[in-house]
A and B are shown apart, each in its own frame.
Chain A
Amino acid sequence: MKWKLRTLFEAHPEIHTPLTSLIDVVFLLIIFFMFNQFKRTEGELVARLPRESGVVPSAIEVERIAPSEIRVRLGLQAGVAQYEINEEKCRDRKAFEMEFVRRSGGAAEKDASQRPLVVIDFADEVPVGVTVWVFDFAKSIGLEDVSFAMPEPKGGAQDAAGRT
């Protein structure tokens, strides 16, 4: 094949490949694929807040924790995230996942009205990544009704939550 090409070019010296243009196109292709490779697709998690502030159970009620409610408390200790479900501490993230799934009781198969409400209560210093992970995990196991606990508004014992 190689000798055939060589003889072809020797016989017809006017035949040539425009190498510069070819390299040009190849470089453009490289840039295009590099751009696509490093670009990450961004999505959104929908979080709806109540029309009126304070939808949620009062502070005293929250203490009792309704059976259809899963209250997740997130903290940070020595730079490590701490997970708590309904006042029960979880050893690590794996244990938290298992406990969360157990308490959800197969939420994905249940009717929307039967699914427990999840309230995420996070300490101020907890990284957003951890909070969003819990939010995302709750949604991935079929718990669509997720709220964020808010501090009590001044002058009332209401606990406002961002409901999804």
Chain B
Amino acid sequence: MARIQDPRENAPEINLISMVDVIFLLIIFFLFVSEWSNFDNFAPVRLPEASQAKTDPMPAPGRIVVNLLANGTFMVTGSALDFPALKSMLAAECALSRRLNEGKNHVSLTIRADEAAPSGALRRLFILCLDPQIGITEMYISAYQPESKG
């Protein structure tokens, strides 16, 4: 005798645990990708702490990040540069910006300097920015924001 099947017996169900699992995996994946997509975050730099450091949610498009390592080496987009190479790279970027913006230089510089790096290297970078070929007037010094206590 044929049995009448209750439709609820084979009703599809959503496995919530697996779904949460996948969602968390996706969140972690995107977190890591967004972090690692920036080459500059790979530089072995321990930034100083500054209470007045503010985060910029919308950094200007023409911003160049220069890492200054503890031994005084400059690093841009993951590769170490000596001073003349850094100078020619900045000069080329500024020349391009001037050509695209009717003579105005829209390049700004973010310096991610290790807290143990010699300040002399920082000064050399400032002097470089004042070079007429480069002429970067807007600079940002990266620092960790103090961790909130309590």
Contact = CB atoms under 8 A, between A and B. Distances in A.
Contacts, number: 152
A62 interface: no
Interface magnitude class on chain B: 35 or more
B28 A129 contact: no
Interface string B115-138: 111111111001101101001111
Interface stretch (A91-99, A102-110, A111-119, A131-139): A131-139
Contact of A128 (B20, B110, B118, B132): B118
Majority DSSP secondary structure for residues of A touching B: mixed
Interface in B88-118: 110, 113-118
Contacts of A25: 17, 20-21, 24
Contact of A45 (B17, B50, B147): B50
A74 B25 CA distance: 49
B56 interface: yes
Interface magnitude class on chain A: 35 or more
B17 A127 contact: no
A55 to B, nearest CB: 10
A47 B139 contact: yes
A77 interface: no
A131 B119 contact: yes
A28 B114 contact: no
A143 B135 CA distance: 25
Contact of A48 (B24, B118, B137): B137
Contacts of A136: 48, 50-53, 143
Contacts of A128: 48, 68, 113-119, 121-122
